[in-house]
Amino acid sequence: MKILAVGCHPDDLEIGCYGTLTKYIKQGHDVAVCNIANGNLGHVEIMPDELRIIREKEAKEAAKVIGAAHYSIDIGDLYVTAENDDLVRKLARVVRDVQPDVVITHFESDYMNDHIQTYYATFRATFAASCGHYEIGAVPASAPLTPIYHMDTLAGVGFLPTEYVDISDVIETKLEALACHKSQIEWMLEHDGIDFLDFVRTCSKVRGYQCGVAYAEGFRLCRNYLRMVPKRLLP
């Protein structure tokens, strides 16, 4: 299979689903990741233009850890909106390029608007990519309409998984990829007193308790018309 994971900021996918993406790759599937926002406002001391470059580099390094292809739409933080037709057009091109069998993205009730809008933009773009007369002349001309899985929210707030993936054997790889985001990890530890690697490990352990394994990631299937299939798509 081919899997496309669409996250808002660089590090969102590492937090929410990199364990699952790692398992897909270990099983021989092709994985691509795409960031919508560039993370340019994710620091107080590093200025946005510099931080944008740093975070793009960190995201590429994280994708390399697990062997995923990397895409970026490069929208400034707090300016992500599903009403942005240019954003949707660019994301639809990524969808057509990847030709995914399944897409993973944010939950529709996540804690910040950029994340919520990333889901709706993904919903728009995956549907648009399936329409042969959208962006006539594009190559490939279309992509299949894909099932969408919502990944967990930060700390699991307001999110009850309906499916789990056992990531016990790849938890260290997930954290290795997340550790590539040094601009965020170091900032939170030094200025907020939060060990974010431990935070993510703990959240994965909680999801593991819920389904009877050491570490897990939780998901919910998007239950809109034509988005459901009669088989399990998660690893």
pLDDT at 71: 98
Confidence (pLDDT) at 138: 80
Length of the chain: 235
Task: With respect to residue 19, please indicate whether it lies within any of the assigned structural domains.
Answer: yes
User: pLDDT tens-digit profile of 129-185?
Assistant: 999 989 878 888 899 999 999 999 999 999 999 999 999 999 999 999 999 999 999
234 belongs to a structural domain: no
Domain CATH for 141? 3.40.50.10320
Answer whether residue 231 is part of any domain.
Answer: no
Rg (CA), the chain: 17
Nearest-angstrom CA–CA distance, 121 and 116:
9
The alpha helices in 1-132, defined as continuous H runs, are 12-16, 18-26, 48-66, 85-98, 113-129
- Whether 33 maps to a domain, the answer reads yes
pTM, full prediction = 0.96
Please report which residue ranges of the chain form alpha helices under DSSP H.
12-16, 18-26, 48-66, 85-98, 113-129, 171-178, 182-187, 196-211
Residue 135: enclosing H or E segment and its boundaries? Answer: none
Q: Judge contact between 111 and 17, C-beta under 8 A.
A: no
* CA–CA separation, 39 and 35 (whole Å): 9
Q: Is 235 contained in some domain? A: no
Give the count of domains, the chain. 1
210 burial type by CB count under 10 A (0-12 exposed, 13-18 middle, 19+ buried): middle
Q: Is residue 205 part of a domain?
A: yes
Q: Which residues of the chain have pLDDT under 70?
A: none
Tell me what pLDDT residue 147 has: 97
Domain of residue 75, residue span: 2-221
Q: Which residues contact 214 (CB under 8 A, 6 or more apart)?
A: 168, 171, 205, 208
Is 227 part of any domain? Answer: no
Domain presence at residue 233:
no
